[in-house]
Structure 1
Amino acid sequence: MTPRARPEAPGVAPPRFATDIVTFYHPGFWGLESADALRDWAVRNPGRFWERVMDTLAEAGVTGLELTFAPGDIDSALRAFGDAPSFRRALRSRGLRVVSAFVAGGDAPDWRHGGNLPAIVADAERRAAFLAEVGAEFLVTGLPMRTTFGTRPPFFVDAAYMSRMADIAHVVGEAVAAHGVKLVLHTESNSTLWYERDIDLFMALTDPRYVWLCPDSCHIALGGGDPVAVARRHSRRVALAHWKDAVKPIDVELTIDDTVFAQQQPYMTELGTGIVDWPGWAEAMSRTPGAGVVLIELDEAADPLAALRAGVAVAQAARE
């Protein structure tokens, strides 16, 4: 039986449920043997890829989608449908919409040094223009990754570094705002926006008119932080949030390289089976500008339909 959601205040619409496209990246869901095989197949068959994703979302009752790295990226949608308006119409015919796009993958310019600011801005404007055409509001990105602890010379996430990141974020935020899109920063594990202290410092250095926050309940917990406390402290800056559970804080120093995301996976778990305080998180989210979307993040679910339904049930129960 589906849990009954907490009644909304008069005149307030219930939230829309959404998910990250990475939910659909398990090769077994596609009858394939590896992530590489899935990427290759999706490049050759973008239309079939998107048809199955959209049909599954509609069946699950999850009506929002966050795009990210290939195969579920902006370029894939354009290959499948030709242009942004056609993609929007295909989604709308099933009651779906794009909520956001996450800047990820090797094609995105790196913020670390900032000498490539024109390229960073041009890339963000391209993505924002697409989002505006499909009716989405949020361009989500992260700050650069930390380096492995003990690396020489050391890399310090200090005030000078955060000031540089804030300067870049202001320029990008202003550029995408011209398209009606908000720049939203995500709290990724092992990045320079991970610990509670990182988040507080970056938020203090950025203009709330141009830079917003996407707290990820799992990643904040993996850094030993309190996701609920972060959400409450920065409630007026939360435009979107990722609802995801964690087994426990990461208790070792991971090697920060191309394998770091795979190294993090054992610390992540299905909603409701980990350490996140879901009633507290739901209450905090209800007080934010991002209250209208509950974005459930389920990395590479072998059965996306079942996983999405289970995630929605946990989120609904937390809001009762």
Structure 2
Amino acid sequence: MAVGSKLRFGVDLVTFFHPSFWGVESFAEIIEHARSQPRAFWDRILDSVQASGVTGVELTFSPFNWQDAIKTYGSIEAFAAELSRRGLELASGFFAELEAAGDFTEPGAQAALIEKAEKYADFIKACGSDIMVIGAPLRQTPGAQPVRFHDFDSARKIADFLNRLGAVLHANGVRLALHTEAHSIFASARDVDLMMLLTDPAYVHMCPDTAHIVVAGSDPIQVVDRHHERMIIAHWKDALGPMPADTPIDEHIHERHQPYFCGFGLGRVDWPAWARLLRDRGYEGWAILELDAAPDPVQDIADGLRLVRQALLPIYR
């Protein structure tokens, strides 16, 4: 079985969000470079993905999003051509709008989110993919006042919106996959179980992220095994362990995550068990090798792919 015959490997572009890779000192300077030299910025990213050995790309937040790609290359077709000439495909697109939407239970906010998602879905389909990964709303910092419980009633309201969004995307030929983002309402075992219970499996699927589930204090093997039939794409990433229960959940939470992520095989994820799980459950599809803001992303992705080929694919086969 050749590599990629059942599993296809890609990378989320957040992997390239480290100042060292760009020879600058801060995240703000990366954004400035992307704005001032967009073609050089995007060409380097796509060339680096190609050099790493994976074949799939997952777009994410700006300056790595779909609008930036269109603006840089002039059209959807031109961006798709840039992927194709490098032997790359669009694996998926990450929809980051929900986390920043505030009270998205308000009808006007929901209509705006659905409109943005439909436009994104058109882009995804035109580039040859059919998967939109979406981040879930963040939880509240434990102990914050006034307390907002994530109980059945609050989860039901979120699930209702996800069901309707998933149905809209389905009508446009795109599948919605909920991402297990640590400190969101969809990462710990209990929260994943609750949201999977309340959403319709015909319209809401799952994108497990192994590292984020570990950071949330749960076991990715157990969590995914319970809901394996909902998985249509997965983020393969390692983590050192769970974060403290009193971690502040605010606009800096994603930066707080980064010290807990590590290279493949250096953390808590049981990769042989993961390979057996995917084999036994018959999973076929994209495996997104992701490292949040890696200083040397090309080498890190290549190293991760080497580990997969040498140690995991023999198990998966």
**Under a length normalisation based on structure 1, what TM-score does the superposition of the two structures give?**
0.92
* C-alpha distance in 2 between matches for 1:91 and 1:80: 13
How far 1:106 sits from its partner (Å)?
8.6
Residue identity opposite 1:86 in structure 2:
A
Q: Specify the SS of the correspondent of 1:146.
A: coil
User: 1:172 — aligned with what?
Assistant: 165
- Please identify, of 294-303 and 281-290, the stretch whose mean Cα deviation from structure 2 is larger: 281-290
How far 1:56 sits from its partner (Å)?
1.2
Q: Specify the SS of the correspondent of 1:66.
A: strand
1:22 maps to 2:24: no
**Conserved 8 A contact 2:31-2:63:** yes
* C-alpha distance in 1 between matches for 2:276 and 2:208: 14
User: 1:3 — aligned with what?
Assistant: none
Gaps of 5+ in 1: 1-6
**Conserved 8 A contact 2:99-2:137:** no
Equivalences, count: 312
Structure 1 segments, 4+ long, off by >4 Å, are 105-108, 287-290
Cα distance per residue 1:275-302 (max 9 Å; x no partner): 1000111222335575221111111111
1:233 maps to 2:226: yes
Residue identity opposite 1:201 in structure 2:
L
* C-alpha distance in 2 between matches for 1:307 and 1:294: 15
Instruction: Mark the CA change 1:253 to 1:107 in structure 2 (over 3 Å): closer, same or farther.
Output: closer
Within 5 Å, give how 1:41-190 maps onto structure 2: 41-104=33-96, 109-110=101-102, 112-115=104-107, 116-190=109-183
Gaps of 5+ in 2: none
Cα distance per residue 1:211-232 (max 9 Å; x no partner): 0001110111112211011111
User: 2:253 — aligned with what?
Assistant: 260
* C-alpha distance in 1 between matches for 2:245 and 2:189: 18
How far 1:109 sits from its partner (Å)?
3.4
Residue identity opposite 2:55 in structure 1:
T
Cα distance per residue 1:149-171 (max 9 Å; x no partner): 11111111111111111110111
Cα distance per residue 1:51-90 (max 9 Å; x no partner): 1111111111111011011111111101111111111111
**Under a length normalisation based on structure 2, what TM-score does the superposition of the two structures give?**
0.93
User: 2:313 — aligned with what?
Assistant: 319
* C-alpha distance in 1 between matches for 2:114 and 2:36: 30
Aligned pair partner of 1:271 in 246, 264, 272: 264
Cα distance per residue 1:174-193 (max 9 Å; x no partner): 11112211010011111111
How far 1:8 sits from its partner (Å)?
7.0
How far 1:40 sits from its partner (Å)?
1.0
Residue identity opposite 2:236 in structure 1:
W
**Conserved 8 A contact 2:15-2:293:** yes
**Conserved 8 A contact 1:173-1:211:** yes
**Conserved 8 A contact 2:11-2:290:** yes
Residue identity opposite 2:52 in structure 1:
A
* C-alpha distance in 1 between matches for 2:6 and 2:254: 33
**Conserved 8 A contact 1:110-1:120:** no
Instruction: Mark the CA change 1:167 to 1:270 in structure 2 (over 3 Å): closer, same or farther.
Output: same
